[in-house]
Amino acid sequence: MFTGGGSAGHVTVNLALIPLFLEEGWSVDYIGSVSGIERQLISSVEDVNYFGISTGKLRRYLDWQNIKDPFRVIKGICQAFRLIQKQKPDILFSKGGFVSVPVVLGAWLNRVPVLIHESDLTPGLANKLSIPFTTGVCTTFPETGKHLPSGKARYIGAIIREQLKEGNAQKGREFCRFTSAKPVLLIMGGSLGSQAINNAVRADLRSLARRFQIIHLCGKGQIDPSLNLADYRQYEYVNEELPDLLALSDIIVSRAGSNSIFEFLHLRKPMLLIPLTRAQSRGDQLLNAQSFETAGFAKVLNEEHLTPDTLAEHTADLLKNKTSYIARMQKTPATDTLKILFNLIKNTAKPTKQV
Write out the chain's pLDDT in tens, 355 residues: 999 998 878 898 999 999 999 999 999 999 999 988 899 999 989 999 999 999 866 555 455 555 667 788 899 999 999 999 999 999 999 999 889 999 999 999 999 999 999 988 889 888 999 999 999 999 998 889 999 998 899 999 888 888 898 999 999 999 999 999 999 999 998 766 688 999 999 999 999 999 999 999 998 889 999 998 999 999 998 989 999 999 999 999 999 988 899 999 999 999 999 999 887 777 889 999 999 999 999 999 999 999 999 999 999 999 999 999 999 999 988 788 999 999 999 999 987 544 4
Cα–Cα distance between 114 and 195 in angstroms, integer? 36
Question: HSE on the CB side for 76, CA within 13 Å?
Answer: 26
* Largest CA-CA distance found in the chain, in angstroms, rounded: 63
User: Model-level pTM?
Assistant: 0.78
> What pLDDT score does 307 carry?
96
Report, in angstroms and rounded to the nearest whole number, the Rg of the chain calculated over CA atoms. 21
> What pLDDT score does 355 carry?
45
Alpha carbon distance, N-terminus to C-terminus of the chain: 14
Query: Would you say 252 and 242 are in contact if contact means Cβ atoms under 8 Å apart?
Result: no
Q: Around Cβ 331, how many Cβ atoms within 10 Å?
A: 8
Query: Would you say 11 and 38 are in contact if contact means Cβ atoms under 8 Å apart?
Result: yes
Amino acid found at 329: M
Report domain 2-157+336-348's class. alpha beta
Q: Please state which CATH number belongs to domain 166-329.
A: 3.40.50.2000
> What pLDDT score does 283 carry?
82
Q: Nearest-CA neighbor of 93 among 170, 1, 18, 160?
A: 1
Query: Would you say 101 and 125 are in contact if contact means Cβ atoms under 8 Å apart?
Result: no
| Burial (CB count within 10 angstroms: exposed 0-12, middle 13-18, buried 19+), residue 242 | buried
> What pLDDT score does 192 carry?
63
Phi-psi sector, 48: left (phi>0), alpha (psi -120 to 50), beta: beta
Q: Which residues contact 232 (CB under 8 A, 6 or more apart)?
A: 205, 209, 213, 214, 216
Mean pLDDT for all residues in the chain? 91
Query: Would you say 302 and 277 are in contact if contact means Cβ atoms under 8 Å apart?
Result: yes
List every span in the chain annotated with CATH 3.40.50.2000. 2-157+336-348, 166-329
